[in-house]
Amino acid sequence: MATHQITVTVNGAAHAATVDSRLLLVHLIRDDLALTGTHIGCDTTHCGACTVLMDGVPVKSCTVLAVQADGAELGTVEGLAGADGMTPLQEGFQEEHGLQCGFCTPGMLMTGTALLESNPNPSEAEIREAISGNLCRCTGYVNIVKAVEYAAGKMGEGD
Amino acid sequence: MSDSGGGGQAPADLPLWAETRDAPEPDSGGGSGFRLIGKPQRKVDGLAKATGKAAYTDDISLPGMLHGKILRSPHPHARILSIDASRALALEGVHAVITGRDMPVRYGIIPWTPDEYPLCVERVRYIGDGVAAVAAVDEDTAIRALSRIRVDYQELPACLDPEEALAADGSEERPFIHEPRREGRNGNVTKRVELSFGKVDGRMAGAEVVVEGEYFFEGTTHTPIEPHCAIGRYDENGRLTVWSATQVPHYLHRELASVLGLDPATIRVVQPPVGGAFGGKSEPFDLEFCVARLAMVTGRPVKILYTREEVFYAHRGRHPFHMKYRTGADDEGRLQAVDAEVVLDGGAYASFGLVTTYYAGQLLTAPYAMPAYRFDSTRVYTNKPACGPKRGHGSVQPRFAFEVQLDKLAERLGMDPIELRRVNFMGSDTRTVNELRVTSNGFLECLDAVEKASGWRERFRRLPRGRGLGVAGSCYISGTNYPVYPNEMPQSAIQLQVDRSGRVAVLSGASEIGQGCDSMVAYITAEELGVPLEYVRVLAGDTDFTPVDLGAYSSRITFMLGNACIDAARKLRRKVQEAVAGDWECRPGEVQLAGGWAYYAPDTERRMPIAQAFNLAEARFGTLGATGWYNTPRDNHGDYRGGTIGASPAYSFTAHVAEVEVDVETGVVDVARIWVAHDCGRALNPVLVEGQMEGSVYMGFAEALMEEHIFKTASQGRAGLHNAPSLLDYRIPTSLDTPEIESLIVESIDPEGPYGAKEAGEGPLHSSIPAIANAIYDATGVRMDRLPFSPPNVWKAIRDAGGPRSLKPPRRRAAAPGESAHAGAATAGVG
């Protein structure tokens, strides 16, 4: 089986890896880099539990090949919180009870992060549209929407 | 109720550790006497889950771990003639192959109906039934090995339809799916229950109106976002550890011992955080036995993770129900008799089916008084994945049919359907017709709440054509009085340990599956012992360290574990109060623990940090720890065979109003909004209760409009093949599909619940489905007696009815709140 040398930057740190052509990005992240906050839910791009940021764009890492990520900047849930603590969106999920079982949460956080980056003050309809590729089976989405609104409000305060 | 609150004014100089965000201010209870209970609090596992740090089962990797895969039957019904695994074993990287012969012990979650093996021994009974399992160095090698296992099958006639299954005779052409347990019986009948209460025929004959209806509830499945996963490790001391995404670690522990022939004392079951379950992980599955056995055979840890497709085949979800109802009432709308006939399509194995068959009838008898009730409920085997318990086990389907029946009854009588439900309210502190004891009952307040919030009086039967409102009510159990296997031991228990720093460890056997039970016990512990929430550590779901709790099913945990936790905490609190009282030379009752302090109640300036109080108690009584437990009232059930099933220490009540818009040209139903009011006894944390209500409404909506767990027939290409085993084809609602949900908490303060609490996780699902059906009727004048209300089904129903029609407003409107003849209205309020 053909292998490839790739370099990816994950949460700011560069990693070189030798990967099979068919290795999925989610397996590179979970198995090779041991970043297990990115979850696998469906194998077929529908649930969004495996969503990560690739050059700032949310992608479902179960349908991206690791070789396609060569040279890319990747962001996973582990990279959100920094020395200053959690991001406003993570705080929103905590404060607004945007999670129950928590399994979809990392994917929701990555999608929500990208949304707030491009649209710091989204309407409810825009939030629902943005997260519509991420399935949650626990919350009925009510508090996930509130969590994103919380983050937008908090980020707006700093302006 | 708690007497730990109400300690006077807060000292201005709280110690630093007590000033953390969640430390409640003394006397902040707003008169309730509680500091934390009843107020929004964070989830104790929220931080780990919001940072990706929570380690679910598949996130665990052990040194030397192998990966397993299960070979599954391609036939819906066949005899296994032989299995040859030699080519698989010859593949480099393959460590072991096991088959049914390696674990030839029947098991089943219900002790009376063990009918499955971890891997099939002689016969496969559905497409997807496990036949052999492989352990290999990695998943790819394991998958390659599966393709090298040769299984010779002799195909048998398959039966997918319950009516056909009932007609089987055990002949070669129409074989039974399981051999009859007694000769002469139909082996395809897994359970039959016939129960009758009161004079059904006489009352039906004397009824002013009788409504008859036939209903069909299509099966649905749980679809947790986390697929099932398990890891087995067998160590050098002969000890087996199984990590599993289960909601019943205790039952798994028992079944592992039984099937593997091991002393249960050598087995440890660990339940990591579970990524959703909804009933779909509430019995042992093949992968748990396989990882255990493969670990024993190979001497290395083994992990199996289901694919999404395997999750669909594992199923144990909502049974398809064929239902016939006759409902009789007098001219005031008061129920006279209910007569039901239900056939449950059980799939290939028993699962919880014995209980499901009872629940199909037993749980319909509240919140309405009915003087006579009869049900005949039959569960049959078919060659499809086994059905089991899904959120609202066995009672969601009959509730759909019955609440539509009530709507039809109201229409016939020209009554407002909310008023019809009020007229039939059974009251609190009463018994149902099938002798279930009902204590607190806030159903009327639920009805009032949704009526008001939805603008029902102004809008019902008055919206433009194509738009409509519908109402429904329901009830559900807060756990069961009798456990799955008969025993006299506590159903739930807690162990508390106090550290000299003031920290309290809570050892809980209960299963956190997202519903918040770890948080619930932390709130109670903090409330009772006066420590800040951050000073409570919850350690849960590990059979080596935590006391037995029977699991996360039947909405039992808040009620049972909550009571157990209060019991343990109060034992400790009394010791601390006594020790501090000794120091202060006062009465123990004058010492209060709150907000990180021990106070002298008559003069709250006199106080000491809680850690110091704990230290005094440890000096006086020795190391501080306490166990607490809860057991159900065992003398409380119906006095007839089966009368224990459905008996619960408390019942929750729900009312829904749904608003829909129906496109009569296409059959597309848009559920614009759902108002749900739920009597949860007391909301220990209202945000968690609302979360359960919202999740329930979402899931009910999903079953009503979108989800169908269905299988192809022979004429569709391949009998028994799952129609849509992926999240593309089995459509679950996205954020765009889900309606707006308004949750209204009703608190009836149950006399036996922890601080008055009852369940909230399953009850609020039930009435969402009939409320939507009834709203579609208001919108179109067309009845939907068959689920789901998908565009083709709705379009066909409208066409068959000859098109939509307008309806007249009821002649008899609802009385204003307070005017109706409430029997024994509870002292509930809308929160």
Dig out the tokens for A148 from the structure. Answer: 């994103």
Give the list of residues 6+ apart from residue B515 with CB closer than 8 angstroms, or none. Answer: A100, B552, B557, B688, B692, B761
Dig out the tokens for B97 from the structure. Answer: 């192959």
> Is B446 inside a domain boundary?
yes
Does residue B662 sit in the same domain as residue B774?
Answer: yes
Classify residue B425 by its DSSP letter.
Answer: B
Q: Taking CB atoms and an 8 Å limit, are B51 and A80 in contact across chains?
A: yes
Domain count of the fold of chain B: 3
The domain boundary residue, chosen from B605, B630, B655:
B630
Sheet holding B189-197, edge to edge: B189-197, B373-380, B335-345, B321-329, B209-217
B813 confidence band (pLDDT: 50, 70, 90): low
Nearest-Cα distance to chain A for B696, in Å, is 8
> Is B433 inside a domain boundary?
yes
Does residue B563 sit in the same domain as residue B646?
Answer: no
**B665-694 mean pLDDT:** 98
CA distance B82 to B147: 15
**Predicted confidence (pLDDT) per residue in B443-467, tens digit:** 999 999 999 999 999 999 999 999 9
Nearest-Cα distance to chain A for B769, in Å, is 15
pTM for the whole structure: 0.95
Dihedral angle sign, alpha carbons of residues B360, A136, B46, B690: negative
Q: Taking CB atoms and an 8 Å limit, are A36 and B695 in contact across chains?
A: no
> Is B4 inside a domain boundary?
no
Q: Taking CB atoms and an 8 Å limit, are B726 and A42 in contact across chains?
A: yes
What was the pLDDT predicted at B356? 98
Q: Taking CB atoms and an 8 Å limit, are A109 and B50 in contact across chains?
A: yes
The domain boundary residue, chosen from B265, B296, B314:
B314
Does residue B149 sit in the same domain as residue B113?
Answer: yes
Q: Taking CB atoms and an 8 Å limit, are B50 and A102 in contact across chains?
A: yes
What was the pLDDT predicted at B814? 59
CA distance B243 to B261: 19
Q: Taking CB atoms and an 8 Å limit, are A46 and B726 in contact across chains?
A: yes
Does residue B678 sit in the same domain as residue B643?
Answer: yes
Nearest-Cα distance to chain A for B688, in Å, is 8
Q: Taking CB atoms and an 8 Å limit, are A140 and B515 in contact across chains?
A: no
Mutate to test the interface with B, among A76, A78, A101 (most CBs of B within 10 A): A101
Contact B575, B621 (CB under 8 A): yes
Give the list of residues 6+ apart from residue B769 with CB closer than 8 angstroms, or none. Answer: B396, B399, B400, B472, B700, B703, B704, B787
Contact A30, A38 (CB under 8 A): yes
CA distance B346 to B674: 31
What was the pLDDT predicted at B816? 54
Evaluate if residue B18 carries a pLDDT over 80: no
Dig out the tokens for B598 from the structure. Answer: 């021990």
Contact A111, B734 (CB under 8 A): no
Does residue B750 sit in the same domain as residue B695?
Answer: yes
**Predicted confidence (pLDDT) per residue in A66-95, tens digit:** 999 999 999 999 999 998 899 999 999 999
Per-residue 3-state assignment (H helix, E strand, C coil) for B793-819: HHHHHHHHCCCCCCCCCCCECCCCCCC
Nearest-Cα distance to chain B for A3, in Å, is 16
SS3 call for B62: coil
Q: Taking CB atoms and an 8 Å limit, are B727 and A129 in contact across chains?
A: no
Nearest to B655 by CA among B752, B781, B742, B779: B742
CA distance B157 to B123: 12
Nearest-Cα distance to chain B for A110, in Å, is 11
Which residues of chain A neighbour B46 with C-beta distances below 8 Å?
Answer: 93-94, 97, 99, 102
What was the pLDDT predicted at B633? 86
Does residue B572 sit in the same domain as residue B468?
Answer: no
Sort residue B276 into left (φ over 0), alpha (ψ -120 to 50) or beta: left
Q: Taking CB atoms and an 8 Å limit, are B691 and A139 in contact across chains?
A: yes
**Predicted confidence (pLDDT) per residue in B198-230, tens digit:** 999 999 999 999 999 999 999 999 999 999 999
Nearest-Cα distance to chain A for B598, in Å, is 29
Q: Taking CB atoms and an 8 Å limit, are A93 and B53 in contact across chains?
A: no
Residue A42 at interface with chain B, using a CB cutoff of 8 Å: yes
CA distance B788 to A56: 40
> Is B520 inside a domain boundary?
yes
**A23-39 mean pLDDT:** 97
Evaluate if residue B102 carries a pLDDT over 60: yes
What was the pLDDT predicted at A158? 65
Cis check: omega of the bond before B788, within 30 degrees of 0: yes
Pairs of CB atoms within 8 A across A/B: 169
Does residue B474 sit in the same domain as residue B613?
Answer: no
Does residue B773 sit in the same domain as residue B663?
Answer: yes
CA distance B347 to B83: 25
CATH number assigned to the domain comprising residue B708:
3.30.365.10
Nearest-Cα distance to chain A for B81, in Å, is 33
Q: Taking CB atoms and an 8 Å limit, are B698 and A141 in contact across chains?
A: yes
CA distance B733 to B287: 28
Evaluate if residue B108 carries a pLDDT over 90: yes
Evaluate if residue B3 carries a pLDDT over 50: no
Does residue B364 sit in the same domain as residue B412?
Answer: yes
Distances (CA, A) of B440 to A80, B118, B367, B444, B536: 46, 43, 11, 12, 31
Place of tokens 């039957």: B73
> Is B462 inside a domain boundary?
yes
Nearest to B746 by CA among B688, B694, B675, B677: B677
Dig out the tokens for B805 from the structure. Answer: 């029609």
> Is B795 inside a domain boundary?
yes
**A24-32 mean pLDDT:** 97
Which among A42, A47, A90 has the least Cβ separation from residue B50?
Answer: A90
Does residue B461 sit in the same domain as residue B580?
Answer: no
Which among A36, A43, A136 has the least Cβ separation from residue B307?
Answer: A43
The domain boundary residue, chosen from B265, B293, B314:
B314
Does residue B530 sit in the same domain as residue B674?
Answer: no
Contact B240, B434 (CB under 8 A): no
B2 confidence band (pLDDT: 50, 70, 90): very low
Nearest-Cα distance to chain A for B823, in Å, is 35
CA distance B277 to B364: 25
Give the list of residues 6+ apart from residue A159 with CB closer than 8 angstroms, or none. Answer: none
Evaluate if residue B291 carries a pLDDT over 90: yes
Residue A155 at interface with chain B, using a CB cutoff of 8 Å: no
Give the list of residues 6+ apart from residue B734 with CB closer than 8 angstroms, or none. Answer: A132, A133, A135
DSSP β-bridge partners for residue B153: B80
Higher pLDDT, B17 or B103: B103
Per-residue 3-state assignment (H helix, E strand, C coil) for B682-717: CCCCHHHHHHHHHHHHHHHHHHHHCCCCCECCHHHC
Residue A102 at interface with chain B, using a CB cutoff of 8 Å: yes
What is the radius of gyration, based on Cα positions, of chain A?
A: 16
Nearest to B127 by CA among B365, B310, B262, B372: B310
CATH number assigned to the domain comprising residue B286:
3.90.1170.50
Residue A128 at interface with chain B, using a CB cutoff of 8 Å: yes
Evaluate if residue B31 carries a pLDDT over 90: no
Residue-number span of the structural domain to which B71 is assigned: 58-156+222-314
Task: Kindly report the number of other CB atoms within 10 A of residue B500's CB atom.
Answer: 12
Dig out the tokens for B397 from the structure. Answer: 């389907």
Residue A93 at interface with chain B, using a CB cutoff of 8 Å: yes
The residue of chain B nearest to residue A81, with distances taken between CA atoms, is B51
Interface predicted TM-score (ipTM) over 0.95: yes
Q: Taking CB atoms and an 8 Å limit, are A128 and B736 in contact across chains?
A: yes
Kind and range of the H or E run holding B652: strand B651-663
What was the pLDDT predicted at B637? 87
Which residues of chain A neighbour B225 with C-beta distances below 8 Å?
Answer: 39, 41-42, 47, 49, 101, 103-104, 135-137
Contact B353, B413 (CB under 8 A): no
Sort residue B549 into left (φ over 0), alpha (ψ -120 to 50) or beta: beta
Which residues of chain B neighbour A20 with C-beta distances below 8 Å?
Answer: none
> Is B40 inside a domain boundary?
no
Place of tokens 């749900």: B676
Nearest to B468 by CA among B407, B400, B406, B399: B407
What was the pLDDT predicted at B28? 37
What was the pLDDT predicted at B32? 62
The domains located in chain A, with CATH, are 3-79 (3.10.20.30), 88-157 (1.10.150.120)
Contact B788, B707 (CB under 8 A): yes
Which among A77, A129, A135 has the least Cβ separation from residue B225?
Answer: A135
Q: Taking CB atoms and an 8 Å limit, are A102 and B273 in contact across chains?
A: yes
Which residues of chain A neighbour B694 with C-beta distances below 8 Å?
Answer: 139-140, 142-143
Nearest-Cα distance to chain A for B47, in Å, is 7
Contact B526, B553 (CB under 8 A): no
Residue A57 at interface with chain B, using a CB cutoff of 8 Å: no
**B186-207 mean pLDDT:** 97
CA atoms within 13 A on the CB side of B546: 29
Task: Kindly report the number of other CB atoms within 10 A of residue B154's CB atom.
Answer: 10
CA distance A23 to B797: 49
B698 confidence band (pLDDT: 50, 70, 90): very high
> Is B163 inside a domain boundary?
no
Task: Kindly report the number of other CB atoms within 10 A of residue B751's CB atom.
Answer: 13
Classify strands B625-630 and B651-663 as parallel, antiparallel or unpaired. unpaired
Does residue B355 sit in the same domain as residue B470?
Answer: yes
Phi, psi angle pair for B495, to nearest 5° = -125, 130
**B640-655 mean pLDDT:** 97
CA distance A29 to A50: 10
Residue A46 at interface with chain B, using a CB cutoff of 8 Å: yes
Dig out the tokens for B572 from the structure. Answer: 């400790």
Residue A129 at interface with chain B, using a CB cutoff of 8 Å: yes
Which residues of chain B neighbour A11 with C-beta distances below 8 Å?
Answer: none
SS3 call for B337: strand
A159 confidence band (pLDDT: 50, 70, 90): low
What was the pLDDT predicted at A41? 97
The residue of chain B nearest to residue A30, with distances taken between CA atoms, is B59
What is the distance in angstroms between the CA of the first residue and the CA of the last residue of chain A? 52
Mean pLDDT (chain B, rounded): 93
